[in-house]
Structure 1
């Protein structure tokens, strides 16, 4: 589904953000991308959705080589992807419903009824259907993150990319948001998440890609946040 081969990213000043990265991810996997700040986690996600271009190597999603897509065709790639950023941008004067519905209208020719059904469906999935008429600035940070997730999945993407989605949340809200990502993954969607949440990684063991100074130093199925994780560093469900 996703294949990265000998991928490197060098910024101006010869800053090596990523160096010779290799991995393959199958459809339906849940993958944590971990590492210290500056390890290259966000850069890797940006390469996957072509916010940035790799300096060398190749990235393939499905049958598409990401670096070969011209800018006019980028929307075809991004239709396959749902993206949740650390700091989400919303239409502040619009309602929850409108913030999600606009994402359907932007990439499809769905009629008004289809837009309404799809929007309500995903708001129900993320637990925000009862707040669909609220303005974004009336919501808590955790509720806003739920809306961001709804936007990411409203077009039924094969892959969801999430960059530190719980970074600004308290532990209770973070746990609820993580449960949503596991729910989305259980529906068959591939989830790739950059995170610093050691407790969550240790609690729900999934595949771990660990970066250090731009290098992939660990690729482990069912791994913890570190090679020898603290068994006490877990959530009580």
Structure 2
């Protein structure tokens, strides 16, 4: 494995239950890259993300992520892996009965943070990174969709992940908010965090070109950003 490789999968077949979802999976992603996963619903994008988070086991083939071997990882090690990963969902998944700050505090405490000063400092850091430091007292239902997604990204950044996995992060947003979120994800990748974005939004790929991997007919293959436009 190359020194800068953060994710590597070789000759893998990926199953959902007993059904084959993806065949002949070969993937190599370096630290700090921004990579798009594109393809129709059911083409395997979300399934591969579940493999990357160890929610699904890799039964055939081999691979690693953040130094963890997919085939050898033990159940007790999965929480350690997930602290190296940040995950952003289409539907935000924020707790509506807690303020923005309380949402972030809940995640830190549940992942082992105990020192009050360190918790406050880390929350301030990620809120500043997503430009939401002035709305920490608000509740999710008081925020726009774009603002909620910024908080979801802040939550994903709390434990300084090596890889950020964003599954349709702009799916519920208008074009302007979608573009703002993409700019933010691009900034995050520039800091050295690998960012993987599963998306249907080809206009964003045109505006923010990067590596594109297309999922189709139980296979995945890298294509040029230009080849994805207009699909």
TM-score, structure 2 normalization: 0.92
Unaligned stretches of 5+ in structure 2? Answer: 1-5
1:116-150 deviation per Cα after TM superposition (whole angstroms, max 9, x unaligned): 01101111111211110011121122111111000
Report the CA distance between 1:213 and its aligned residue: 2.3
Number of residue-to-residue matches in the alignment: 226
In structure 2, what is the Cα distance between the partners aligned to 1:88 and 1:71? 26
1:192-211 deviation per Cα after TM superposition (whole angstroms, max 9, x unaligned): 11111101111221111111
Q: 1:48–1:59: 8 Å Cα contact kept in structure 2?
A: no
Task: Provide the alpha-carbon RMSD of the alignment.
Answer: 1.7
Q: 1:7 aligns with which of 12, 15, 40?
A: 12
Determine if the alignment matches structure 1 residue 41 to structure 2 residue 42: no
Report the CA distance between 1:110 and its aligned residue: 4.3
Q: 1:4–1:60: 8 Å Cα contact kept in structure 2?
A: yes
In structure 2, relative to structure 1, the CA distance for the partners of 1:112 and 1:145 (3 Å cut) is: same
**Alignment partner, residue 56 of structure 1:** 60
**Alignment partner, residue 176 of structure 1:** 180
Deviates more, 1:65-74 or 1:42-51: 65-74
Report the CA distance between 1:98 and its aligned residue: 1.0
Determine if the alignment matches structure 1 residue 219 to structure 2 residue 222: yes
**Alignment partner, residue 141 of structure 1:** 145
TM-score, structure 1 normalization: 0.90
In structure 2, what is the Cα distance between the partners aligned to 1:82 and 1:66? 17
In structure 2, what is the Cα distance between the partners aligned to 1:132 and 1:186? 25
Report the CA distance between 1:225 and its aligned residue: 5.8
